[in-house]
Amino acid sequence: MKNNLTELLSVEQELTELRDRLKQSFAVLDSLTQIPAQFAALGQSYQQLQANLEQVKANKADLINLETDVNLRLAAIETAIDVRWREFKGELTHLQDELGSADIHLSNYNAELAKQVSELREEVSKRLKHFWQEWTADEATHAAISEIVDTKLNAELEDFIQKLEQAGFSPQYFEKQQNLETELRLTQSSLRDTERQLQMIRNFTTITGLTVAIALGLTIVQLLSR
């Protein structure tokens, strides 16, 4: 009887252990049944990851194309700016050369004109002194010559200044012209001083005096037209 009880207890223990093992097996089976679902979810995640990777690749390609296009446009803009800058520097250099040439030309012109005015003044002085030595002048002839010379010189001087203004010379060039105007007025003053020394020219020298005045006017016109 005692042996049967022992065997019964042993059987119960074995049944308990078997029951526990079965529970563990069922738990493992339940876990195994969840594996396909987990694999399916993992597959979906993998597919989504693949799609995301493809989208990233596409976006990267678009970014590369955009970067290439931007670089090309920037290069074209830089090239256009460089070309325009070179053209501007060339135009500026050419303009500076032209201004330098114009300044040199005007300086030479002023020097030549001043020289011719000086020579003209000397020539006028010599001629008037020559007439003074040969003839005497009456007051009527003196007044006629003085009026003609003054009128002619003033008219030609005004015409000369108008031509300079129409040519577009700047004020600094007109200062040089004003100096020449002063020289011409000094010439007029010298003419008046010399004419005052002519006391008594015969009446027949009137025509000669007028001819001289006209010749002087024509000479000045020729100088100004050069």
Let me know: does 125 contact 132? Beta carbons within 8 Å: no
pLDDT tens digit sequence for 177-187 = 565 566 656 65
pLDDT tens digit sequence for 10-54 = 667 777 777 777 677 666 666 666 666 666 777 777 778 777 777
Angle at which helices 171-196 and 2-134 pack, to 10 degrees?
10
pLDDT tens digit sequence for 131-150 = 665 554 455 555 666 666 66
Cα 172 to Cα 103, 115, 176: the distances in Å are 11, 20, 7
Let me know: does 188 contact 126? Beta carbons within 8 Å: no
Instruction: Note the pTM of the prediction, 2 decimals.
Output: 0.31
